[in-house]
Amino acid sequence: MKDVQNEPDHRNIPIDKVGIKNLRYPIRVKDRRDGSQSTIASINMYVDLPQEYKGTHMSRFVEMLHLLNPEISLKKFSVLLEAMKQNLDAASAHIEVSFPYFIEKQAPVSLAPGLMDYNCRITGSSNSSNDIDLVSEVNVPITSVCPCSKEISDHGAHNQRGIVRLQTRFKKFIWLEDMIELVESCASCDVFSVLKRVDEKNVTERGFSNPKFVEDVVRDISERLIADDNITWFSVSAENFESIHNHSAYAQITNGVGPAR
């Protein structure tokens, strides 16, 4: 049968990334408490395409996912990236795996258990020099109380829920739970899925006794990461979904050495 995608292309324009997006796929990820947990990922896979080729072999991306088998690990990421380059005659390869990660979290006073879900992502790339770049990302919901509002108000202060996005590069493996707990410890208060009245009192009072701007949140997280020798690069952002404004408050800090070029 005629293979059109293997025919030459005469426009002389290379493509940076070509592949598949939003493939839902079952995976297992490392779990600090239970060893591993199963979840469903959305996966993007790309390679570069030289100017002389008309197209790439899209079906091969899905075939190669069995290399994960189906656990997500740093070692398997490296193997998959190399296989993508070899099987698709590419100089570079990229993979992005996004998934919900669940942690059982007890309420602060009643100790009532509940499952918290965190949107996480692991990205990997391999360039023409076979340099592997891996980035781990967590998105963590938090609450914050405005220090200015508390200072100027006779009663109370406005507070809101926000989201912190933390991306890291590292020398050795880092638990998703460690990244999540670091972010939560730098908020006015963390978020829970189950709260009794005694817990609601606790988190309300804890938040109001620990007011923070988005600037405070990203600086506090950055201070901890800069002191960690295992972290070679990070990017942290905080977005507050303001309760008294029709816009969000936002801050971001990036620090460290990026990927090899």
Task: Name the nearest CA neighbour of 41 among 82, 100, 89, 88.
Answer: 100
pLDDT at site 1: 65
Burial class, 153, CB count within 10 angstroms (exposed 0-12 / middle 13-18 / buried 19+):
exposed
| Token pair 């740093």: residue | 74
Distance CA 187, CA 238 (A): 10
pLDDT for the residue 2: 62
- Predicted pLDDT at 144: 96
pLDDT of residue 230: 96
Identity (one letter) of the amino acid at 230? N
**CA angle at 44 for the pair 43 and 46, rounded to the nearest 5°:** 145
State the pairing for strand pair 113-126/93-106. Answer: antiparallel
- For the segment 5-58, what is each residue's pLDDT rounded down to a tens digit? 667 778 889 999 999 999 999 999 999 999 999 999 999 999 999 888 888 888
pLDDT of residue 232: 96
Question: Whole-angstrom Cα distance, residue 142 to residue 221?
Answer: 13
Residues facing residue 238 across a β-bridge: 164, 251
What are the tokens at 161?
Answer: 């829920």
Res 260: pLDDT:
54
> Which residue stretches of the chain have pLDDT < 70?
1-6, 259-261
131 vs 93, 127, 227, 230, CA distance in Å? Answer: 11, 6, 26, 19
- Residues 191/180, Cβ–Cβ less than 8 Å: no
Counting Cβ atoms within 10 Å, is residue 146 exposed (0-12), middle (13-18) or buried (19+)? Answer: buried
